[in-house]
Amino acid sequence: MEGFAGKVAVVTGAGSGIGQALAIELGRSGAAVAISDVDTEGLAVTEERLKAIGASVKADRLDVTEREAFQAYADAVVEHFGKVNQVYNNAGIAYVGDVEVMPFKDIERVMDVDFWGVVNGTKVFLPHLIASGDGHVINVSSLFGIFSVPGQSAYNSAKFAVRGFTEALRQEMIANGHPVKVTAVHPGGIKTAIMRNATAAEGVDKEGLTKTFDQRLTITTPEKAAREILTAVRKNKARVLVGPDAKILDILVRLTGSGYQRLFTTAVSRLVPNAH
Ligand SMILES: NC(=O)c1ccc[n+]([C@@H]2O[C@H](COP(=O)([O-])OP(=O)(O)OC[C@H]3O[C@@H](n4cnc5c(N)ncnc54)[C@H](O)[C@@H]3O)[C@@H](O)[C@H]2O)c1
């Protein structure tokens, strides 16, 4: 497979899970990598692993919701490496709770990280990506950006919004003749810390839910997910469904239209009784 030698890639949320695996796979493919996270301990692990494989790496603490800091970060990355080719807006959080009981602040927090974090990362790097002459924005949505499930309205909203934003951006780049490719990423269940790191509305059995998620709903490793994502990037795919569950459920939703909601209301309640 074609490598990324000579390319500069930015990965947010690179201290764990998919972001960590992406950063390492990019480093292995020859890219110089700018990694960031709010979790500096996890980030240090990623940095060490990148250094161990001889990759050029710049590691910084960055909260993707802090727009001014993000702008300053983009400028610093370009100053450090001279350019930026790829931006993986990957940082994200999960939250579980029904609309009825969910405080506004929790919905806003999920939108801030999962949607606005992606918008911030795209906007601050876009001029640099255009200037590079060979840019690519990779925005991580979710399978939950393709269909909704009970107990996930905040996350569903943010991930649907990422999909809308990303699909419009891809068309704009083509229409405006800019040298920037755009890919929306929709992972199914990936074996990461996302549910362990998640928060939940009062009354939700978070521990039980984490156990169900880890044992029954995740089938793809972050490393496999990263390889699938990078294959899609190499092929300039508009959309990548990551993992077999994502591919199958996407077809099911397309076949049933809004009818999937009836199926999922029953299925999710049986499979994840502690989700809401
Ligand atoms: N794991 C899955 O099953 C799955 C499925 C679909 C989509 N996703 C998406 O994949 C992305 C990566 O998630 P993951 O599964 O690797 O989870 P993870 O919890 O293992 O990693 C997410 C990383 O993002 C960081 N982060 C959280 N808030 C941040 C902020 N405000 N600023 C900067 N960094 C922040 C965390 O510290 C963590 O290191 C997320 O956008 C998630 O929504 C994951």
Distances (CA, A) of 28 to 47, 77, 158, 263: 13, 20, 31, 42
What backbone phi and psi angles, to 5 degrees, belong to 178? -85, 145
Contact residues of ligand 1, CB 6 A cut-off: 12-13, 15-19, 37-39, 42, 62-65, 90-93, 113, 117, 140, 142-143, 187, 189-190, 192-194, 197, 218
Tell me the CATH number at 148. 3.40.50.720
3 in any annotated domain: no
Residue range 73-113, pLDDT digits in tens: 999 999 999 999 999 999 999 999 999 999 999 999 999 99
Which residue from 12, 16, 63, 159 has its CB within 8 A of the most atoms of ligand 1, so it is best to mutate? 16
CA 83 – CA 67 distance, rounded (Å): 20
Residue 62 within any structural domain of the chain: yes
Residue 193 covered by a domain: yes
Residue 163 in any domain: the answer is yes
Residues 37-66: tens digit of each pLDDT: 999 999 999 999 999 999 999 999 999 999
For ligand 1, what atom is nearest to the CA of residue 15? 39
Residue 244 counted as domain residue: yes
> Where residue 271 falls among pLDDT bands split at 50, 70, 90?
confident
In a domain, 276, yes or no: no
Question: What is the span of the domain harbouring residue 116?
Answer: 8-271
Query: Which of 73, 88, 95, 155 is labelled catalytic?
Result: 155
Number of domains composing the chain: 1
Q: How confident is the model at residue 1 (pLDDT cuts 50, 70, 90)?
A: very low
